[in-house]
Amino acid sequence: MTASVVAADLMHSFGRGAAQTRVLHRLSVEFWPGEVTLVMGASGSGKSTLLAALGGLLRPDAGQVSVSGTMLWSLTARALERFRYQHCGYIFQGFNLFPALTALEQVALPLRFGGELKARAQARAEAALAEVGLSACAQLRPSELSGGEKQRVAIARALVTQPRVLFADEPTSALDSSNGERVVALLQDIAHLHGTTVIVVTHDPQLMCHAERVLQLRNGVIHQDQRMAPAVRSPLTGEAA
């Protein structure tokens, strides 16, 4: 099997001169299809910076990132934007939902932005909501959804473009422990069912049972790379969150 995401000798710092802080230090790592990898570590260890560099959202000071064989930082800004749209999905802790849009409209939005016809976009959005167990919530707006439901709408929106790689930055931090586990278990289902590479930044050790691998970062380097044996479980599609 070929690695889907490869980072080589990543270096990145914030600030200048005496105030400069190095957050990634010659970091190299590979990620594989069909797996959930948790990236963990103390605040300031470089977790979110690494995720942003891997996802093409932040250009590192040095080093390279390859996603599905494409060298991200050799692309023009326009080509990189298009590549992210076609191959990557992003989930954030704040949900990033539009208050005035229904769940169905939220999920269809990336497809409409990409030029998909309305009927086709709606059909694909309905399928994505069904996959995360939210068909019954399609016409509800964020104010009518629980925190777990909002995050599942955000997951459906990230899934609707059928990305090869899914990046999640603290996707459970705004949820209680039960809903947090359910969301990460759903991400595990997605990885297994679609062969998606799922990379999750988290502080929560309770989520480790839903990952194939855990990376521990310390001072911008990988301190520990641990293979896990997640419990066999049924897909969560249809369960309440």
The CATH number of whichever domain residue 54 belongs to comes to 3.40.50.300
> Per-residue confidence at 231, pLDDT binned at 50, 70, 90?
low
Per-residue confidence (pLDDT) for residue 177, from 0 to 100: 86
Per-residue confidence (pLDDT) for residue 19, from 0 to 100: 78
Work out the average pLDDT over 148-177: 92
Q: Does any domain span residue 150?
A: no
Collapsing DSSP states into helix, strand and coil, what is residue 227? strand
56 vs 239: which has the higher pLDDT: 56
Sequence-distant (≥ 6) Cβ neighbours of residue 52 within 8 angstroms: 58
Q: What range defines the domain where residue 201 resides?
A: 5-95+165-227
Q: Which helix (H) or strand (E) holds 12?
A: strand 5-14
pLDDT surpasses 60 at 232: no
Q: Does any domain span residue 129?
A: no
Q: Does any domain span residue 13?
A: yes
> Model confidence over 27-84: pLDDT tens digits?
999 999 999 999 999 888 999 999 999 999 999 999 999 999 999 999 999 999 999 9
> Per-residue confidence at 93, pLDDT binned at 50, 70, 90?
confident
C-alpha distance from residue 26 to each of 10, 50, 76, 213, 238 (Å): 5, 11, 24, 21, 43
50 vs 94: which has the higher pLDDT: 50
Q: Does any domain span residue 188?
A: yes
- In the sheet with 5-14, reading across from the earlier edge strand, the strands are 21-31, 5-14, 62-67, 70-71
Work out the average pLDDT over 167-184: 89
In terms of C-beta density within 10 A (0-12 exposed, 13-18 middle, 19 or more buried), how is residue 205 classed? exposed
Return the percentage of the chain with pLDDT > 70, whole number. Answer: 95
Domain count, the chain: 1
Q: Does any domain span residue 159?
A: no
pLDDT surpasses 90 at 125: yes
> Per-residue confidence at 230, pLDDT binned at 50, 70, 90?
low
Span of 68-72, 95-99, 113-117 with lowest mean pLDDT? 113-117
Q: Does any domain span residue 10?
A: yes
Q: Does any domain span residue 113?
A: no
Return the percentage of the chain with pLDDT > 90, whole number. Answer: 71
d(CA 62, CA 45): 18
Q: Does any domain span residue 66?
A: yes
Per-residue confidence (pLDDT) for residue 178, from 0 to 100: 87
Q: Average pLDDT, whole number, for the chain?
A: 90
Neighbours of 25 (CB within 10 A): 14
Per-residue confidence (pLDDT) for residue 180, from 0 to 100: 87
